[in-house]
Amino acid sequence: MKKSLSSSVTAVSLVWMGLVFPCTASAAVRQVPQVAQATPQVAQIVVNGHVWSDNVPFVVRNGTDWLPLDVLMQALTASGLQAEYDGRSLLIKNLANLALESLSTPQANTIHMAMDAYVLTNVPVLTWTSNSGKQTYVPVPSVIQVLTHSESGYFVTWKDHRLTLTNDMTGAPSLSEIERVMSQTTEIGDPTEHFMLIGKPVSITIGNGDTVTAAVGMRWPTADGYGQVVFFFHNHQFVGLDSDVEKTEIQSLRATQSGMAFEVTYADYAPDDPMYNPSLPPVTVTFGWDGSTFVPSGRESIPRGALNQLKVRVHRDIQPISYSGVPDEVRTAIRQALPKGGALVNRPGSSSPYLAVDLNADGQDEYVVAYRNGFTMGLLVMGESNGKWKVLWNKALAGTQLSELNAGPMTGDGTEEIAFQSYLGDGANNVLILKWVNGVVKPVLQVTGVADIGDFNQDGVMEVANWVHDTGPLEKIQLYAWDAAKGMYERANNDDFPRYFGGAPLAYDQWVRNSGEKNQVPPKMLDYALASTYEEMGLYNQAVMYAKLGLQQPARAYPENRAFQSILNQAMARQKQAAAYVHLPASVRRTVDRVLLKYSNFYNPPFASTPMVAMNKDGSWRVRVIGGMFHNLVDGRYVLASELAFTVSRDGSSATSLVARNALGQRVWLVNAVQ
């Protein structure tokens, strides 16, 4: 289990930005008595890089600096945060009424502070009385603690009597944020088509630090480059499209000379024009900011001849990048290690690009990020050594989009490994597994396809099922298992994983069969898919049936008949051997069952497939069981196997020459005579 990066506040003294203050679970500074008079000093407040005020009074008491609450609220509002105060609770951007209902009444001379889900209770306040009336002051360390411990993305500093409030959500969106929005925008008629960034985004920044950005996205995958949409952003927030219908071609995008507006030039087509040669002159439309989104100015509109009639939809669960739980020094080190032009990419399904992983099982997390550099992906791993963060692994990788970035215990030795997939095209990914080996991070598997990762035989170690697209709906699947001796993932025997093939592969084949008529999938492909999957499942009767059906289809149709004949020959041989088990003499069958029961894994006792038996020339019986999970005590430890092969005497009185193998085909134990 990963350790928490944001541990609870403990009663220790912290030195932070030149301030010394004690922390408790309820307040960041000591309670101090109310004061009637004090001589205020003058501070400066900087909001989003601009001086908001350089004449703010503050008070120093008991080694702590205090700022007026009403001025602080105004500065927070100027930085883009909604702040409310009801006399007992300061609520910033968060729970609003929920916090008021759930928080108890604060103690005397204290208030509660809350932002997002982070709450400080019973924070001391000072009351300063002047000619203008009574003023409430709050401790600067508590303000910093609330703002930096929430998930707001705000950065706050207090140094040399200057309070700096930086809303990280202002400014232009990163390339990864733009790409995330585009990747979650799909055609309504074909959800597999999403969008990817083409060209350079155009941004406009105005005096208060606000930034608006426009970027062109192209339908992807695409063979012709047509089908484009303009995406608009206000700071880091996606605010809309130029329209919800694709344009055939966007010829240019530029900022206007003044104001918050963009000029977009579209190719305009007559009804009979080919896509490569529009006959009508291009049309430029100006999109202006209306306070919430971008709309065409005046009577301008996108010409009908620019639209290709394919509607798109943006999934509305898009969130900006989250930095929650990632130390500042880690983010700084990662930023410095990125190659020139590299932009972080959020992990799929996450609002953050950062992944914490304990690669060497020392209790200290390393950090992993994926980044885009042009049209190439990259992967960066950072680790701490002697108090400094350094690069453990950093390489450019093939792929245009991030498909997966995960980590977890895969190899059963107490460490965690990194799983990375980036989209290459035609349904294929660049698949990479990274592991800590002898003090360095190195690849232990790199293949092309789509990886399905899990413990498919319940042996405590994860396998990788690599799906490689064949032809039409057909997928070739190869299992990889961990080879501890080599320190690598190696090709495994597929028929040792009947439960896996009875899951996702069978479900996929059945889906293809049920939709085959609508999609006009050739029947021979459907027969092959089911024949091969049933064979891997150990259901040889079904494999034989579908192999024979495939051989009845036209010989020139794909796949070739020899592929069906290979499945048919092996399935019929195993079908015959499985049937022989059912008709064994009672004494022989009892011995076979006794051996299997003796070595069945006590965590997963049932073996998955029927034993296959054949008679030797001397009348004894060869027995083989695949796709099970067996165990034996070897040198004081239990060793698992997925295949057993042994010999039973003609009369069933003894079992000898038992060989156990793992999914890699390696012999893991040998028993001369089973007792």
* pLDDT(95) > 60: no
Q: Which of 238, 256, 130 is nearest to 180 (CA)?
A: 238
Q: Three-state SS string across 609-674, please?
A: CCCEEEECCCCCEEEEEEEEEEEEEECCEEEEEEEEEEEECCCCCCEEEEEEECCCCCEEEEEEEC
In the structure, what pLDDT confidence band is assigned to residue 530 with cuts at 50, 70 and 90?
very high
Q: For residue 221, give the DSSP letter.
A: S
Check whether 260 has a pLDDT greater than 50: yes
Contacts of 296 (CB under 8 A, 6+ apart): 285, 286, 287, 288, 302
DSSP states of 447-471 as a string? Answer: EEEEEEEE-TTSSSS-EEEEEEE-S
pLDDT surpasses 70 at 117: no
**pLDDT tens by residue, 176-200:** 778 878 888 888 888 778 898 888 8
* Torsion from C-alpha of 508, 575, 571, 599, nearest 10 degrees: 70
Three-state DSSP class for 212?
A: strand
Specify the fold of 338-484: Lipocalin (2.40.128)
How much of the chain, in percent, has pLDDT values that exceed 90?
44
Q: What's the pTM? A: 0.57
Which pLDDT score is estimated for 276?
A: 80
If one looks up domain 493-574 in CATH, what number appears? 1.25.40
Share above pLDDT 70 across residues of the chain, in percent, rounded to a whole number: 85
- The segment with the largest mean pLDDT, out of 2-16, 142-156, 314-328, is 142-156
pLDDT for res 515: 66
Note whether 527 and 547 are within 8 A (CB). yes
**For residue 52, what pLDDT band results from cuts at 50, 70 and 90?**
confident
pLDDT in tens, 400-416: 788 899 999 999 898 99
Instruction: List Cβ neighbours of 233 (8 Å cut-off, separation of 6 or more).
Output: 172, 173, 177, 178, 181, 211, 212, 213, 214, 215, 239
Instruction: Select the highest-mean-pLDDT range: 208-212, 462-466, 506-510.
Output: 462-466
Q: Dihedral sign, CA of 9, 13, 14, 19?
A: positive
Residue 103 has pLDDT above 80, yes or no: no
Kind of pairing, strands 41-47 and 162-167?
Answer: parallel
pLDDT of 88 > 80? The answer is: yes
Closest CA to 571 of 628, 609, 623, 608: 609
Q: Find all residues with CB under 8 Å of 575, minimum gap 6, and list them.
A: 540, 541, 544
Which residues are CB-neighbours of 390 under 8 A, at least 6 positions away?
333, 382, 383, 384
Lowest mean pLDDT among 28-32, 258-262, 595-599: 28-32
How far is Cα 23 from Cα 26, in angstroms, rounded to an integer? 8
The backbone torsions φ and ψ at residue 251, rounded to the nearest 5 degrees and listed phi first, read -85, -30
∠ CA 25-29-112, nearest 5°, is 65
User: How many Å is the maximal CA-CA distance in the chain?
Assistant: 114
* Residue closest to 185 by CA, chosen among 171, 172, 195, 170: 195
The rounded Cα 245 to chain-centroid distance in angstroms is 29
Instruction: Note the pLDDT tens digit of each residue in 280-334.
Output: 999 999 999 877 789 998 888 999 999 998 999 887 444 445 555 788 889 889 9
Parse the chain into domains and list their residue ranges: 13-167, 175-314, 338-484, 493-574, 584-673
> CA geometry: angle at 393 spanning 389 and 398, to 5°?
140
199 Rama sector, left if φ>0, alpha if ψ -120 to 50, beta otherwise? left
Average pLDDT, the chain: 83
Is pLDDT above 70 for 457? yes
- Extended beta strands in 484-620, E state: 488-491, 612-615
